């Protein structure tokens, strides 16, 4: 029986999660994942392979999960753990998933507790690979990944970057926070990670812009970038090729398998988005772009001085979203490029949030507008959100309260049918 939802989010109560750990150096990172899951109130059973215990000791896994840890099927036989753990789980996450573990899973082996658990699980099963690039790209692994996906499992795209030793390339385990975010999303919504964006190119902007006043000061805003990062992470895990144009964000790690372009100002963001939008199937402007910038930039620090401070003259920044729509109208962008805007609104005596949002959708001319009510601790710097999705065809859908990852999954669901047919 599930405990009541935490923080108002559906299905974020206590759930049964099996964390499988295969034998790779990244096994140590599973400790942070196990801790995050238990701290969220979930009941965690760790099932390592024998070789995983070469990297992290059984006692560590037992202490972190608060549960006994076994690797074979002949312990606790009366409890039939090789069947029960999988049958009773709400989610199985294997992190790291090595090439060998995925080969065994793809061929249906059941020669230890973890592989047996994988055969009996009927909940979402998510493999988070970690291996050297050569192993990840080997045709045998490529086939095993395809087989696992065909069987209904999720195989996460690994990150690129530093591997063991001096190697760099694709095959790095995504950061534990990112695995936790994907696992939490699957607990909120079991079907949140289909591979339905394979072959698509998406450009997503995120975070706030910083408009410099002098070398040490800027005008900024409170956007954390969390919503845009959640969109980019999810789109990549749904198979898309994603460019994330990121302004100032709250210490977020780059999402795995995403091309991240860092910018500071609205002008830089405009240039990067416009460049990468060419040939993209969709552009999602979730960034909080500054409407104004200081009219002048002082090349040395402005001194306090003795008198009253000068006021700051402002000048308008270009509207990137409206510019994209204009480029599409002018034929500089493909007519089929889908353009999505975000609106953070507060109502006032003249109108409520939706009234302003409808006017914004019409004014900007985009295809979809994701609307969040802001103020009173809503939307900015928080992990949960709600809102509405307004479409150019006049349809309006309420987005129920949930994590920013859940919001992202709903936005991508709405976007997908609007995408051009693959050529
Ligand atoms: N946006 C943009 N370029 C700007 C300002 C906003 O591309 N210079 C985009 C945002 O990324 C978002 C959408 O426009 O997708 C709406 O942003 P918002 O700040 O809500 O709208 P504004 O046009 O600034 O309208 P207002 O502040 O008057 O509500």
Q: How many residues does the chain have?
A: 423
Question: From ligand 1's centre to the CA of 374, what distance in Å?
Answer: 14
Q: Whose CA is nearest to atom 27 of ligand 1?
A: 291
Q: Long-range contacts of range 102-111, CB-CB < 8 Å, 24 or more positions apart?
A: 102/127, 102/129, 102/141, 102/144, 102/145, 102/148, 102/155, 103/140, 103/141, 103/144, 105/144, 105/148, 105/153, 106/143, 106/144, 106/147, 106/148, 106/151, 110/73, 110/82
**Does the reported pTM lie above 0.75?**
yes
User: Active-site residue 259, yes or no?
Assistant: no
Name the closest-CA residue to atom 20, ligand 1: 343
Distance CA 222, CA 77 (A): 55
d(CA 288, ligand 1 centre) in Å: 7
Per residue in 121-144, pLDDT (tens digit) is 999 999 999 999 999 999 999 999
Across the chain, which has 423 residues, the per-10-residue mean pLDDT values are 36 84 97 98 97 98 97 82 90 98 97 96 98 96 98 96 75 96 96 97 98 96 94 98 96 95 98 98 98 96 87 96 97 97 90 93 97 74 84 94 93 96 74
Q: Using an 8 Å Cβ cutoff, are 137 and 163 in contact? A: no
For the segment 248-290, what is each residue's pLDDT rounded down to a tens digit? 998 999 999 999 999 999 999 999 999 999 999 999 999 999 9
Residues linked to residue 208 through DSSP beta bridges, in sequence order: 248, 288
CA of 327 to the centre of ligand 1 (A): 17
For residue 336, count other CB atoms closer than 10 A to its CB: 12
Question: What whole-number percentage of the chain has pLDDT above 90?
Answer: 81
Write out pLDDT tens, residues 199-219. Answer: 999 999 999 999 999 999 999
Question: Which of 221, 317, 372, 385 is an active site residue?
Answer: 221
Domains of the chain: 16-188 (3.40.50.1950), 201-296+313-418 (3.40.50.10300)
Beta-strand (E) ranges in 85-151? 91-97, 125-129
Cβ–ligand 1 contact at 339 (below 6 Å): no
Does the C-beta of 319 come closer than 6 Å to ligand 1?
A: yes
Tell me which of 342, 348, 375 to substitute to probe ligand 1's pocket, judged by most ligand atoms within 8 Å of the beta carbon: 342
State the DSSP code for 248: B
> Which residue bears the tokens 């029960």?
84
Q: What is the pLDDT of residue 4?
A: 33
Kindly provide the b/e burial profile for residues 357-368, where b requires at least 16 CB atoms within 10 angstroms of the residue's own CB: bbebbeebbbbb
Distance (Å) from CA 417 to ligand 1 centroid: 25
Residue 147 phi, psi dihedral angles, 5° rounding:
-65, -45
For residue 343 and ligand 1, the question of a CB distance below 6 A is answered with: yes
What pLDDT, on the 0 to 100 scale, is given for residue 377? 62
Query: Can you read off the two tokens belonging to residue 129?
Result: 């690979």
Query: Each residue of 17-29: b (16+ CB within 10 Å) or e?
Result: bbbbbbbbebbeb
Question: Among the residues of 164-285, which ranges form H helices?
Answer: 176-188, 226-237, 266-277
Q: How far is the CA of 342 from the centre of ligand 1 (A)?
A: 7
Containing H/E element for 416? Answer: none
Give the C-alpha separation, 232 to 234, whole Å. 5
**Cα gap 161→260, rounded to integer Å:** 13
Question: Does ligand 1 have an atom closer than 6 angstroms to the CB of 321?
Answer: yes
Instruction: Return the residue whose CA atom lies nearest to atom 21 of ligand 1.
Output: 343
Record the tokens describing residue 302, joined without a space: 């402005």
Q: Is the CB of 291 under 6 A from ligand 1?
A: yes
């Amino acid at each position: 029986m599930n405990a009541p939802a935490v923080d108002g989010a559906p299905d974020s109560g206590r759930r049964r999660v099996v964390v499988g750990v295969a034998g790779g150096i990244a096994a140590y990172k599973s400790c942070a994942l196990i801790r995050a899951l238990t701290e969220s109130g979930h009941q965690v059973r760790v099932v390592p392979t024998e070789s995983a215990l070469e990297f992290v000791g059984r006692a560590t896994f037992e202490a972190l999960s608060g549960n006994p840890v076994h690797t074979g099927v002949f312990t606790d036989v009366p409890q039939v753990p090789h069947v029960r753990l999988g049958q009773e789980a709400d989610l199985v996450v294997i992190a790291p998933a090595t090439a060998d573990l995925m080969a065994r899973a793809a061929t249906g082996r059941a020669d230890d507790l973890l592989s047996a658990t994988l055969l009996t699980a009927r909940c979402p099963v998510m493999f988070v690979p970690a291996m050297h690039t050569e192993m990840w790209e080997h045709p045998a692994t490529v086939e095993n990944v395809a087989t696992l996906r065909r069987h209904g499992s999720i195989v996460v795209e690994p990150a690129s970057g530093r591997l063991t030793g001096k190697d760099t390339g694709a095959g790095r385990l995504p950061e534990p926070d990112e695995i936790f975010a994907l696992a939490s999303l699957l607990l909120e919504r079991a079907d949140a990670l289909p591979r339905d964006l394979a072959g698509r190119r998406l450009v997503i902007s995120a975070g706030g812009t910083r408009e410099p006043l002098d070398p040490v000061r800027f005008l900024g805003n409170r956007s954390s970038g969390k919503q845009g990062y959640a969109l980019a992470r999810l789109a990549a895990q749904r198979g898309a090729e994603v460019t994330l144009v990121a302004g100032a964000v709250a210490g977020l790690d780059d999402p795995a398998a995403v091309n991240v372009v860092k910018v500071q100002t609205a002008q830089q963001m405009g240039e990067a988005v416009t460049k990468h939008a060419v040939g993209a199937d969709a552009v999602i402007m979730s960034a909080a772009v500054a409407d104004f910038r200081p009219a002048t930039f002082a090349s040395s620090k402005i001194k306090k001085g003795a008198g009253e401070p000068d006021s700051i003259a402002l000048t308008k920044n270009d509207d990137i979203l409206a510019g994209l729509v204009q480029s599409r109208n002018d034929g500089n962008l493909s007519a089929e490029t889908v353009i999505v805007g975000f609106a953070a609104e507060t109502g006032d005596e003249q109108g409520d949030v939706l009234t302003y949002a409808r006017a914004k959708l019409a004014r900007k001319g985009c295809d979809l507008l994701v609307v969040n009510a802001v103020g009173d601790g809503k939307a900015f710097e928080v992990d949960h959100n709600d809102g509405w999705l307004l479409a150019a065809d006049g349809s309006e859908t309420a987005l129920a309260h949930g994590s920013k990852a859940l919001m992202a999954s709903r936005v991508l669901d709405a976007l997908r049918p609007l995408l051009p047919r693959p050529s």
